[in-house]
Structure 1
Amino acid sequence: MRNAVRALPLLVSAALLAGAATACSSDDTSADKKTTSTPAPPKPAPALSDAQARAVITTYSKINNEANAQRDRARLDTVEDGPVYAMSVSEYTETEGLPKADRKPYKPWSYDASSAKLYIPRFTTGQDRWFAAALSSEKGKDPSRIAVFAEQPKDKRWELVSVVDLESKTLPDIALDKSGHATAVDATGNKQLAADASVLRAGVIDNFATGGTNTGTKVFKPTKASRQQIKVHDKTTRKFGKLGTTVFAGASNRFKDAYALKTRDGGALLLFAHTHTQTDAVAHSGLQINPSKEDNAWLHGTPRTSVTYTFVCSDAATVPAKAAPSQLIGYTCARTDAAGPPVGSAATDRA
């Protein structure tokens, strides 16, 4: 992922239980009866050490720069996955669609691994391992993003799978044990929280789709991030006036993994992803939508009667343990697709 992304935002934490096994024969003779002791459940261990986590962040920055310089998707795929990879590739695609004169030279950057605030949970054998980090791209500066790195056991590597631009420099108050490790909790179906990832995702989509009218303002208390999503809805749906319409809607979401860390108040920090669409359409025949240069990679400069844009977003929210609204603390979005029916080449009014 590049240093800045334009914003328009599976965890298994239950302990593995080893069942007791008892072998019995059909013979009623007590001498033939055998019992087995119940093995102790596996002891949770940190996903990795602090030093290893900082090395993961440093390696990510190095390879990310190498990939971005050449827009090398295969190279990028070794350090990114999920919505982060989808958003990064969309930036590559958008850049490649611009005239060469409009392509800005790539400027290398990196996360400051030494100042990263690490949240490393404990996991038992067989559980998916991941950790979160509050990151800054400038040495000495407060973190401005929160990210999740997940292990890919098959490839024996760690990859960035979620990153969110935070609305505030005040970080969530993550609960840490005596050794400084965080506690991972279920992000979906967790009855100990006021909302889980699916409820939060629906609330975010409603902020875009209705301005929060149905569920968004019920799920979230007002924050800078949630107000910004509502502002996107309100401003964008009015941009054409009487010449056209804009409709936001939820879309098929490939990125269902969500991550949650316990906070000191008994609630949790949740990081999740959502996908939504924005459909612009002319009000009547004789009008057309003229794509911008940034749309050229998908729309090739061809006027359209309607355009549906797809956005992939990463979101972060703090959720209380009791029944109360959650707080959206940041989100990051990128356009990943655009499509729509073209119009004829005859001159028409513009929308």
Structure 2
Amino acid sequence: MPQAARARRLRRLTVLALGVTTALTLSACAAGDDRDGADTPTPSASPSTAPRGLLTKAEAKKAVDNYEKINNRANANQDVKLLGSVEAGQIYEQSSADFEQWETWSEKEQKHYESAFFYRDREYLIPAVDSGASWFAVKAHTSAAPKAGSALVVFDKVDGAYKVVMTVYSDEALPEIAVDEHGYVTPADPSQKVGGLAPDALSKSYEDFFETGGKTAGKTFAETKSSKGSIEVFKGGVDKDLRGYATEKFFAKEPAHPKVYALRLKNGGAVALFPTAHTSEMILKPRYMSGFDITPGPKEAVYDGSRRDVVTDEFEGQALAVLSPKAKPQVTGIEYALVDSR
């Protein structure tokens, strides 16, 4: 998993044959952290009458401990196969891309990524076995970024083992997650609306911030640090030195791993971790296509180093949203990673 005390930054340096450069930056946060803190509430009913959890707290702790150990080893050696034994889904798409782009990173970035991290202040969010869920979550902080907000880390059953499939840090305090009298959380149906949107409609709606600057999304979502950052990316467009030569547009696309994870909140709403993705297309203006080419930046060149009239980049993302029955949904954490360029 990418550590994000270092917010992942996607920086593209695109160079025209005549020496013009441009930079596009998307900011994001991931992370990893330390030890147990808050416990899952103790079931009040007797063992004979209480329902069983998907797994016990001890089993959940073991899964998290194992993830820390294996992830730290994989990060230190950029071992994508080893990482795949404990990661899957959107976060594995991003981590794999980090390893692919390793040589483009600064020595300081590499050193930070290789350093061990641990989850602390863990709160295990375990559903009942009869909920139908195949996953559990952990709310935690990270030793790698002590000042970062809480993260929700989702472990899903993949190939017979619990693997981390999503991790998103929230810019704002998370509302209280609903817990029943037995200490179990309740998964929310991703297809069921909470207020104006269902969790599985979040990605398509949110990507409008990149496609149009939020003409629709700005009315659908409450303003947050994440949404303002996405609008800034849209408005930033091509670097000023290239604006006379090229244009850039974003297009929503289906995420590589479309599964959405959602939990009921105590206030009747839901918190959702959802995958999201888009393509960016930088293209020379027609009058320059016969005489100029775009030279891809270092990270883009990992996938395709050829000079071309059009540079198409693929970004895979993951995000956290809070949905309320009586208010607009809030996206309080989002990150993207460049995973391909052509």
TM-score, normalization: structure 1? 0.77
* 2:235 counterpart of 1:234: yes
- Distance change in 2, residues 1:141/1:282 (3 Å): closer
- Distance change in 2, residues 1:142/1:229 (3 Å): closer
Q: Which residue of 1 aligns with 2:54?
A: 47
Maintained 8 Å contact 1:111/1:135 = no
* 2:68 counterpart of 1:61: yes
Aligned residues: 296
Structure 2 unaligned regions, length at least 5: 10-25, 29-49
Shift of 1:248: 0.3
Deviations 1:150-178 (A, max 9, x none): 123x42x210001113212x122211223
* 2:301 counterpart of 1:296: yes
Asked which structure has the greater CA Rg, the reply is 1
* 2:339 counterpart of 1:336: yes
Shift of 1:100: 10
CA distance in 1 between counterparts of 2:224 and 2:105 reads 38
- Distance change in 2, residues 1:71/1:142 (3 Å): closer
Q: Which residue of 2 aligns with 1:313?
A: 317
- Distance change in 2, residues 1:159/1:184 (3 Å): same
Maintained 8 Å contact 1:278/1:310 = yes
Higher strand share: 2
- Distance change in 2, residues 1:244/1:257 (3 Å): same
Q: Which residue of 1 aligns with 2:329?
A: 326
Maintained 8 Å contact 1:200/1:219 = no
Q: Secondary structure at the match of 2:102?
A: helix
Shift of 1:52: 2.1
Output aligned runs, 1:242-281, within 5 Å: 242-281=244-283
Q: Which letter maps to 2:217?
A: G
Q: Which residue of 2 aligns with 1:120?
A: 126
CA distance in 1 between counterparts of 2:180 and 2:148 reads 23
Q: Secondary structure at the match of 2:234?
A: helix
Shift of 1:252: 3.0
Maintained 8 Å contact 2:301/2:341 = no
Maintained 8 Å contact 1:148/1:163 = yes
Maintained 8 Å contact 2:149/2:171 = no
Structure 1 unaligned regions, length at least 5: 10-42, 340-351
Q: Which residue of 1 aligns with 2:221?
A: 220
Q: Secondary structure at the match of 2:303?
A: helix
Q: Which residue of 2 aligns with 1:16?
A: none
Q: Secondary structure at the match of 2:110?
A: coil
Shift of 1:76: 0.9
Maintained 8 Å contact 1:134/1:143 = no
Alignment equivalent of 1:180, drawn from 183, 189, 194: 183
Deviations 1:244-290 (A, max 9, x none): 10000012323111111111111100111011011111122223222
Percent identity, aligned pairs only, is: 29
Q: Secondary structure at the match of 1:221?
A: coil
CA distance in 2 between counterparts of 1:101 and 1:124 reads 49
CA distance in 1 between counterparts of 2:194 and 2:220 reads 16
Q: Which residue of 2 aligns with 1:197?
A: 199
Q: Which letter maps to 1:224?
A: K
Q: Which residue of 1 aligns with 2:42?
A: none
- Cα RMSD (Å) of the superposition? 2.5
Shift of 1:69: 2.1
Q: Which residue of 1 aligns with 2:18?
A: none
Maintained 8 Å contact 1:174/1:262 = yes
CA distance in 1 between counterparts of 2:325 and 2:106 reads 52
Shift of 1:297: 0.8
CA distance in 2 between counterparts of 1:46 and 1:78 reads 24
Q: Which residue of 2 aligns with 1:111?
A: 118
- Distance change in 2, residues 1:279/1:334 (3 Å): same
Maintained 8 Å contact 1:270/1:318 = yes
Q: Which residue of 2 aligns with 1:137?
A: 142
CA distance in 1 between counterparts of 2:109 and 2:119 reads 27
- Distance change in 2, residues 1:315/1:192 (3 Å): closer
Deviations 1:39-68 (A, max 9, x none): xxxx95322222322221111111011112
Q: Which residue of 2 aligns with 1:40?
A: none
CA distance in 1 between counterparts of 2:107 and 2:202 reads 42
Q: Which residue of 2 aligns with 1:345?
A: none
